[in-house]
Structures are given as C-alpha cells and as structure tokens.
Amino acid sequence: MQDFNAEATPSPFWGERQEPNILEWFRIEQFGKGASSRLFYNEVPNPIWIRHSGHVHDAEEEFYSFTKANQDYPLIFGMDTTTEEGRKLFEAEYLALAECTPELLDKDEIIYPHQIQQKPNQEAHFQRLWKTYQAFTLKENAKEAVEAGKISSEDMHAAGKFLGAKGSQMSVASYVYTKAGLRPALEQDEGFLATDRVMAAIGMNELAINLNSAMDPEMQFWSNVGVTYQLSEEGMKKNLAMMITDPSNRMKVEAIMEGRAGYLEEESTKELKA
C-alpha cells in the first residue's frame, strides 16, 4: 500500500482511451509513435528513427532512463570541503540554495561532500551479507549495553525472542510497525516493551516513521541503523571474523565482497541416496 503514496509510472496517451473525435486520432504525438513515445519506469530507451529525424548524435546524452538515473545525487558544488576555506564556500552556496528552496533543503542539515557515506553495493548476494552485518551490529551494541548496565540480560533475551533473532538474522517488522502505530495490539506486549528498552539503550527508538514514503517502515529502520552506526564495507571486513566463524562460509563471503559472486554459481549439490 505504500506504493500508492509514491511516484506513479506515467501511462502513455495512446491506448489510455479511444478518443471519440476521429480528428484527434491524427495528433502529432500519436502518428507513427504510439505507446513507445513515453518511457516507463524501468524501460531502457529504444527509439525509432522517425522521432529523431533519422539520426541520434549521442544516445547516452540525448536519452534519459530512470533505470540508470541517480535520483539521490548529493549537493556537490566543486569545492574541496576537506579544507576550512572550502567548507565556508560550500556552506555559503548551501544556505543560498536552502533560502530559495526551503521545502527541499534544511539549513541545519548541511553534509559536506567528503562526509557523504558511500551507499552499499546493491548486488543481491552482497545485500544478504549486508543484512547480516546490520543485525550483527545491533546485537553487538545490545551486548555492550548489557555489560554497561543500561539494560538487563532478561530484556535482551526477551527482545531477541520478540525480534525472532535466530542465527545471523532478525526481523524488526513487528517492532517498527508497532512504533508507527500500525499494530496497537502489541503496544502493551512485554516483548515489545523489552525491545523498546533495548532500542532506547542503543539509541534506536527515536526513529520517525514516515508512512507517506515508498520505503516501508522496516527499510526505514535499517537505513537509520546504517546512518547511526556509520556502517561501511570496510567496517564489515573488520568484523568478518566475528560474523562468520565457518572458514568455508568465510571464503564465500570474501568472494562476494570482492565482486566474484559468480563463484557461488559454480557450486553444485548432490543428492544423497538413502
């Protein structure tokens, strides 16, 4: 249901309805083009010659596709923000832009280009490993909170049971949906209350869930985990020995991190006879 509040895929004019006025059938945007005159969300441009007078100079430059678009491009004005002079110049440009578009930019949320965190690899095998790293980070911080006396071990055990923490995975869906007010029946559940105390101890219970976003509440939570603890591929490599104790599994993980996910496809299974 979150998709209804997100950007919609535009529907082409042709085929949307049959215009009763015959003269409208010969409009310039209809003749010789049809549904191919509009790009859908994940469509790669594949034009016909009639639309571009028979030639295209540079397809990569002239055509635009959402598939390859970077819709979260950061604000980079070309200054070297690692220096004090560069930060002052960047701040002046940012504040001027925030003054023009206050609905898009907040003056108090300046992030310098050199501080922008690199997004994790979106390859499917790597994303599975990344989720393991996120869950591992939460568990380790919860253990530190227990050792520091911020929470009790009983709360941590109850939270693990509520989150279904088994092995290297956990599901925070019940917690975040309850925090968002979508599951009021669980608000007084002992497991939820224990989980909320654990999240408060590690600084993860103040997440503002946006129900008007295409990103579901669970994804918003994990995204906030990455920002709060500054998760990175380098950090995952450092904790690899603690995350993956089996040497054979560690080889597979290292192959994924080095971009050799095809190594996993070379494996084969063999059916054992009874």
- The reported pLDDT for the residue numbered 74 is 62
Q: Which long-range contacts (CB under 8 A, 24 or more apart) does 136-143 make?
A: 136/168, 136/239, 136/242, 136/243, 137/225, 137/229, 137/231, 138/170, 138/202, 138/204, 138/225, 139/165, 139/170, 141/202, 141/229, 142/198, 142/201, 142/202
Beta strands per DSSP E along 65-175:
none
Q: How far apart are CA 92 and CA 84, in angstroms?
A: 13
* Ordered mean pLDDT values, 10 residues apiece, the chain (274 residues): 44 52 66 48 58 64 54 68 90 90 84 79 80 90 92 92 82 90 91 93 85 85 88 85 77 70 52 60
Q: How far apart are CA 180 and CA 211, in angstroms?
A: 8
- The reported pLDDT for the residue numbered 165 is 79
Task: State the DSSP H helix or E strand holding residue 262, giving kind and residue range, or none if neither.
Answer: helix 262-265
The domain ranges of the chain are: 8-64, 84-115, 124-253
- The reported pLDDT for the residue numbered 148 is 92
